[in-house]
């Protein structure tokens, strides 16, 4: 049974990917420092798949601990690297934390791969590397523009680190540029668990609907979009997770065509903030309390993916629609409320 290391595997996208890997017959070991997730995610993964993943808790920014782990686990067939700080707003207040953590973790992993002959990595990247694209839908060949946050800049820098490291060493990498991952597993046993006040739209919507937040603030309705609110390409987290299994198998089966390959993970359809709110109200029957407030600094106006390369070359296509995303997010929020009240 091939063994895959999933860093950040107790996080939102990581946990959903661990489920898909196990259900595709892979042995999974998770490394996570639990700085933005909780250990009970492991039990919930096991409840879904019947398999408790191996787990070690330490900080991948620690070179010695990471080197030791990879030496002890030199039999892993590949690494899926999620572990990183990812809050856009926080990254503007603490840029050095973001550079140190996000770059050092990747460098430590690559050093260990070089030393132990581990040759495959899937890297968690983001459409934020594009900034505000000049042309839409945005393709993987679109120019990388100046980042609007240190978070986005770390993703750009990590892709460059991968580009030169895979040139110099027998390592293959696939960078997956996520658009906006939302929703939750159909069992409502795992989902997005923002600690504190959510930065992202959909957890704020569901927390407002459940009564944890009083009112959703819609950041600006003066964009040059049909209803004035900003447009994003929202994609179900399970579709994102499935793409990671496809990417790992592409490398394990020797199908990679370049040392570093880059794919957009989106649906190809853009939704405005008001579109998302209307979809949520429609599928749940809940009335959402929201108000329009000024734009959030750093937000781009609109972005959605050109998905042809991922569809044709990677052989992956998003299957779930906005209704699935809203319903699963709502089911997850209700399950959380039940757990917290019991």
Residue of 130, 151, 223, 234 marked catalytic = 151
Q: In the complex, what is the shortest distance from the CB of residue 207 to ligand WQD, in angstroms, rounded to a whole number?
A: 10
Helices 12-23 and 40-49: crossing angle in degrees, nearest 10, is: 30
Which is closer to ligand WQD, CB of 73 or CB of 207?
207
Q: Does 213 bind ligand WQD (CB under 6 A)?
A: no
Distance in angstroms (rounded) separating the CA atoms of residues 140 and 148:
18
d(CA 141, CA 126): 14
What whole-number distance in Å separates Cα of residue 85 and Cα of residue 103? 10
Map residues 159-188 to x or -, x wherever contact with ligand WQD holds by CB under 6 A: -------------------x-x--------
209 near ligand WQD, rule: CB under 6 A? no
Is residue 151 annotated as a catalytic residue, yes or no?
yes
Radius of gyration of the CA atoms of the chain, in A: 19
Can you say how many angstroms the Cα of residue 161 is from the centroid of all Cα atoms in its chain?
19
In the numeric block, the tokens 């934020």 are attached to 128
Contact 76, 31 (CB under 8 A): no
Instruction: Identify the residue whose tokens are 């709110």.
Output: 277
- Per this entry, what is the length of the chain? 342
Pairing of β 172-178 and β 120-126: parallel
Residues 100 to 139 in contact with ligand WQD, rule: CB under 6 A: 126, 128
Interface with ligand WQD: number of residues (CB under 6 A): 19
Please write down the HEC assignment for all residues of 55-82: EECCCCCCHHHHHHHHHHCCCCCEEEEC
CB of 242 vs ligand WQD, minimal distance in Å: 17
**Residue 86 beta carbon to ligand WQD: minimum distance, rounded to whole angstroms:** 4
Binding to ligand WQD by residue 320, rule CB under 6 A? no
Q: Is 12 in the site for ligand WQD (CB under 6 A)?
A: no
Cβ closer to ligand WQD: 55 or 304? 304
- The candidate with the shortest Cα–Cα distance to 60, out of 31, 18, 86, is 31
Burial state string for 70-94 with b = 16 or more CB within 10 A and e = fewer than 16: beebeebbbbbbbbbbbbbebbeee
Closest distance between ligand WQD and the C-beta of residue 171, in Å? 24
Dihedral over Cα of 284, 286, 291, 293: its sign: negative
- Taking CB under 6 A as the criterion, the residue among 69, 98, 204, 332 binding ligand WQD is 204
For ligand WQD, the closer CB: 17 or 119: 17
Judged by CB, which is closer to ligand WQD: 249, or 301? 301
Task: Please identify, among the stretches 46-54, 55-63, 211-219, 323-331, the one whose residues bind ligand WQD according to the rule CB under 6 A.
Answer: 211-219
Cβ closest to ligand WQD, residue 178 vs residue 263? 178
15-54: which residues touch ligand WQD (CB under 6 A)? none
**Which residues form the catalytic set?**
151
Enumerate binding residues for ligand WQD (CB under 6 A).
86, 88, 126, 128, 178, 180, 199-201, 204, 216-219, 230, 232, 273, 296, 299
């Amino acid at each position: 049974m091939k063994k895959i290391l999933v860093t950040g595997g107790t996080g939102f996208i990581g946990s959903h990917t661990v489920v898909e890997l196990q259900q595709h017959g892979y042995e999974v070991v998770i490394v996570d420092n639990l700085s933005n997730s909780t250990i009970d995610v492991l039990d919930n993964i096991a409840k879904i798949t019947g398999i408790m993943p191996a787990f070690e808790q330490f900080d991948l920014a620690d070179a010695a601990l990471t080197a030791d782990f990879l030496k002890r686990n030199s039999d892993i067939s590949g690494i899926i690297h999620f572990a990183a700080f990812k809050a856009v707003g926080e990254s503007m207040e603490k840029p050095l934390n973001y550079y140190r953590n996000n770059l050092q973790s990747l460098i430590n992993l690559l050093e260990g791969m070089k030393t132990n002959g581990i040759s495959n990595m899937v890297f968690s990247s983001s459409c934020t590397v594009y900034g505000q694209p000049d042309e839409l839908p945005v393709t993987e060949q679109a120019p990388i523009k100046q980042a609007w946050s240190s978070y986005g800049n770390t993703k750009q820098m990590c892709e460059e680190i991968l580009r030169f490291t895979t040139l110099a060493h027998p390592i293959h990498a696939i960078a997956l540029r996520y658009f906006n991952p939302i929703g939750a597993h159909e069992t409502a046993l795992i989902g997005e668990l923002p600690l504190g006040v959510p930065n992202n739209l959909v957890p704020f919507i569901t927390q407002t609907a459940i009564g944890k937040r009083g009112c959703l603030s819609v950041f600006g309705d003066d964009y040059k979009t049909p209803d004035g609110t900003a447009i994003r390409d929202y994609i179900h987290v399970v579709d994102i997770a499935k793409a990671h299994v496809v990417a790992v198998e592409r490398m394990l089966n020797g199908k990679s065509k370049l040392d570093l390959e880059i794919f957009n993970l989106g649906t190809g359809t853009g939704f405005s903030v008001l579109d998302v709110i209307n979809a949520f109200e429609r599928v749940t029957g809940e009335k959402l309390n929201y108000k329009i407030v000024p734009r959030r600094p750093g937000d781009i106006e609109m972005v959605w993916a050109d998905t042809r390369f991922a569809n044709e070359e990677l052989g992956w296509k998003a299957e779930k629609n906005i209704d699935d995303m809203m319903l699963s997010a709502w089911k997850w929020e209700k399950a959380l409320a039940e757990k917290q009240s019991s």
